[in-house]
């Protein structure tokens, strides 16, 4: 399957989900990675106008889960996140944030 078709399928699965609400978009996929981006705007701000850490973690979880989903037999296996841990190194209040699952 071509890269564009894979990305189209993954992004179409976001309809009516948290990923759609946070405007996440899967932008690149390869044999051993998947990349998504999310805009930083008022939808994902903390009250003081910077990116909410929970939104960042949601992006990371979404990319990891989607990458895992791509590697299992859907007829016999399900994918669920069990544990996620995050360290926030810098605040941001505009642009995009990116997540890469490998």
Task: Choose the catalytic residue: 4, 20, 61, 94.
Answer: 61
Query: Residue 68, class by beta-carbon neighbours within 10 Å (0-12 exposed, 13-18 middle, 19+ buried)?
Result: middle
Q: Of 31, 29, 101, 25, give the one whose Cα is nearest residue 65.
A: 101
User: Structure tokens of 58?
Assistant: 């949601």
In the residue annotation, 61 being an active-site residue is answered as yes
Indicate which residues carry an active-site annotation.
61
């Amino acid at each position: 399957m071509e890269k564009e078709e894979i990305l189209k399928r993954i992004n179409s699965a976001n309809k009516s989900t948290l990923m759609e609400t946070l405007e996440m978009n899967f932008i690149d996929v390869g044999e051993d990675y998947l990349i998504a981006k999310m805009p930083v705007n008022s939808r994902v701000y903390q009250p003081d106008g910077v990116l909410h850490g929970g939104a960042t973690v949601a992006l990371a979880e979404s990319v990891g889960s989607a990458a895992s989903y791509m590697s299992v037999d859907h007829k016999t296996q399900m994918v669920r996140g069990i544990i996620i841990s995050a360290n926030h190194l810098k605040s941001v209040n505009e642009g995009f944030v990116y997540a890469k699952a490998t």
